[in-house]
Amino acid sequence: PLSEVTHKRRISALGPGGLTRERAGFEVRDVHVTHYGRLCPIETPEGPNIGLINSLSAFARCNEYGFLETPYRRVVDGVVTDEVDYLSAIEEGQFVIAQANAKLNEDGTFADELITARQKGESGLHPREHAQYMDVATNQVVSIAASLIPFLEHDDANRALMGANMQRQAVPTLKADKPLVGTGIERNVAVDSGVTAVAKRGGVIQSVDASRIVVKVNEEELVPGEAGIDIYNLTKYTRSNQNTCINQRPCVMPGEPVSRGDVLADGPSTDLGELALGQNMRIAFMPWNGYNFEDSILVSERVVQEDRFTTIHIQELTCVARDTKLGSEEITADIPNVGESALSKLDESGIVYIGAEVKGGDILVGKVTPKGETQLTPEEKLLRAIFGE
């Protein structure tokens, strides 16, 4: 799910009318002051594309002219209001903008005489009455993937880059386990990725089974003249483009009241409506006979027995019987020079039967192709001449 969200928030400097990897120098790839709150300084691929492919920051949006804007809270007469203005990099330059973590009093004024603020891209200490705007949140600088990392501010930038990129490579496990330590945006990511089933209208759960959820809609949200029942059909065991398994599991009970926007069913890598990419494991930092030297890890047998990191992959294989010059190919269980044991899982038409357990190297479809007279090597010709056909 995270990979899906990140993919939709990609921004590239390559392509038609853009740069080429060879011609792009260090200046283009570097973090620029105008990236603040618009492009993530952390999430970018390692390798030849570093800095040319970026990710949108958490709250960035595109304006009608195609410029990226980021939201700021307006400060009026020293009081921070809840009004939010979106500013582009050009508009932002003239204002003094306070940091999101500036201490505020209960009436919305700044607690400290001097506050850390930015003006014309330079950060410095400013008197509190000079502030005109204030950042909306502490994670508005970084992307979704980077803001899923707990205690990001204590991490080295290079390692945070690797962490943000590696989170996208997580494969959905058999049983999702929501993280014990999170940053608070796990729920938003899970719901916005679209893998969960979300209630369109409030009501009471009428019936639940593995493949569908029926909700009786509230009186006040009813449109006159309709049945007042919402049916959510769940996706079961479908193949994704990455060959992983898409499966939705209901997480509500019959008779339970739900309101609009509540998560009704978990998708892959979500647990009770929260993004759950991994498992909560008990770990020990200790040497163990050199088996965990440098970046090796040791895993207990119980992890395997409990299927903590077991994943399901669904593969689709196609076999085509074509018409060739020498005749047509045939799908059949009668394959020459193949033992009986290799064909044991095929039905009479030569296709593996449903429910058969297959291992690597097993025959799934038997196919014979007509073979013309092959060109013989001189040695074979000699042997044929001596021994006959």
Task: Give the mean model confidence (pLDDT) for residues 277-281.
Answer: 90
Write out the residue limits of the CATH 2.40.50.100 domain(s) in the chain. 171-305
Q: Which amino acid type is present at position 321?
A: A
Cα gap 257→266, rounded to integer Å: 17
Which residues are CB-contacts of 369 (< 8 A; sequence separation ≥ 6)? 324, 329
Cα gap 278→259, rounded to integer Å: 29
Exposure of 43 by Cβ count < 10 A (0-12 exposed, 13-18 middle, 19+ buried)? buried
CATH class of the domain whose range is 171-305: mainly beta
CB 275 within 8 A of CB 186: yes
Tokens of 97: 């903008």
Residue 115 phi, psi (nearest 5): -125, 150
Of 327, 331, 190, 324, nearest in space to 265 by CA: 190
Q: What is the pLDDT of residues 181-225, one digit of tens each?
A: 988 888 988 888 888 999 988 889 999 998 889 999 888 878 787
Cα gap 148→360, rounded to integer Å: 38
Write out the residue limits of the CATH 2.30.150.10 domain(s) in the chain. 68-136
Write out the residue limits of the CATH 2.40.50.150 domain(s) in the chain. 317-389
- Identify the residue whose tokens are 């996208």: 168
Of 229, 150, 222, nearest in space to 182 by CA: 150
- pLDDT for 218: 86
Q: Compare 336 and 351 and report the one with higher pLDDT.
A: 351
Q: What is the pLDDT of residues 83-121, one digit of tens each?
A: 999 998 888 888 999 988 888 888 888 888 888 998 888
- pLDDT for 101: 86
Angle at 171 between CA 303 and CA 150, to 5 degrees: 80
pTM: 0.78
Of 181, 217, 194, 202, nearest in space to 265 by CA: 194
Residue 59 phi, psi (nearest 5): -115, 10
CATH class of the domain whose range is 317-389: mainly beta
CB 168 within 8 A of CB 241: no
Lowest mean pLDDT among 131-135, 225-229, 285-289: 225-229
What is the percent of the chain with per-residue pLDDT over 70, rounded to a whole number?
A: 99
Cα gap 12→51, rounded to integer Å: 9
Task: Give the mean model confidence (pLDDT) for residues 221-249.
Answer: 87
Helices (H), 204-326: 301-305
Q: Is residue 296 over pLDDT 90? A: yes
3-state secondary structure 73-111: EEEECCEEEEEEEEEEHHHHCCCEEECCCCCECCCCEEC
Lowest mean pLDDT among 4-18, 305-319, 369-383: 369-383
The string of DSSP letters for 157-223 reads: HHHHHHHHHHHTTPPPBSS----SS--S-HHHHHHHTT-SEE-SS-EEEEEE-SSEEEEEEPSTTPP
Q: Is residue 389 over pLDDT 70? A: no
Residue 270: how many CA atoms within 13 Å on its side-chain side? 31
Residue 146, classed as helix, strand or coil, is helix
Cα gap 59→73, rounded to integer Å: 13
CATH number of 68-136: 2.30.150.10
Q: What is the pLDDT of residues 141-184, one digit of tens each?
A: 999 989 989 998 899 989 999 998 998 888 999 988 889 998 88
Residue 384, classed as helix, strand or coil, is helix
Q: Is residue 30 over pLDDT 80? A: yes
